[in-house]
Amino acid sequence: MEVRRTVETPAPGEATSSSPDEIAWLAFLLPPRSEEPTVLAESGTASPDAGPQTPSPELRKLLDETSDLLESPMASTVLAHMLAVGFEMLIDGKLANLAFLSKAATVMRAPTAPGTADEESDVSVMPRIAPVVEDSAAAKFASILAVLARQAHAIGSAAGNEYLAVSSHPHARRICH
């Protein structure tokens, strides 16, 4: 959580103009205009013999529109949500269950009636069984790194990415458990 806080909290002067708590994500998601010809050449969309090319007018329009979207407050909200759900799934759903599995105790979570403060009205009242990792549980650092390495491949996978699937689900926080 300390690493997340360090990475996701904007340094002084790096926050967006609309909110001092929002990170300017554009620099992480799109190359600066000065590097666009290099990125186009590296992507294989241009002939290596042709030299640096500037984006076509259509691509320029698309890049500008994408930049505007990425700089919007809604995009910051969506990215923050995706990161929160993704890290919850990684830490609570994967790391806790895989690296600390032998130390986890399985407990039955009591069902909550629909419409109460704890649950949404469209969720069934079936009890859920969930592993709970005690705060004092220990795991080998190598086991933790192995789980993180496997999950890094899953996160980077374009096809069947469960992290993207769970972050787009309306009840994402409950699915992770």
Q: What is the DSSP letter of 115?
A: T
- What's the pLDDT score for residue 69? 93
Residue 61 contacts by C-beta under 8 Å, 6 or more apart in sequence?
none
Give the domain ranges of the chain. 80-175
| CA dist., res. 95 & res. 164, Å (int) | 17
- What's the pLDDT score for residue 177? 42
Q: What is the dihedral of CA 159, 161, 166, 167, to 10 degrees?
A: -100
Q: What is the DSSP letter of 99?
A: H
- What's the pLDDT score for residue 22? 67
177 residues of the chain, pLDDT tens digit each: 787 787 777 766 655 555 556 677 888 889 999 998 888 888 877 666 666 678 889 999 999 999 999 999 888 888 888 888 888 889 888 888 888 765 444 444 444 444 444 444 444 444 445 555 566 677 888 988 999 999 998 888 777 888 888 877 655 544 444
Distance from chain centroid for Cα 39: 24
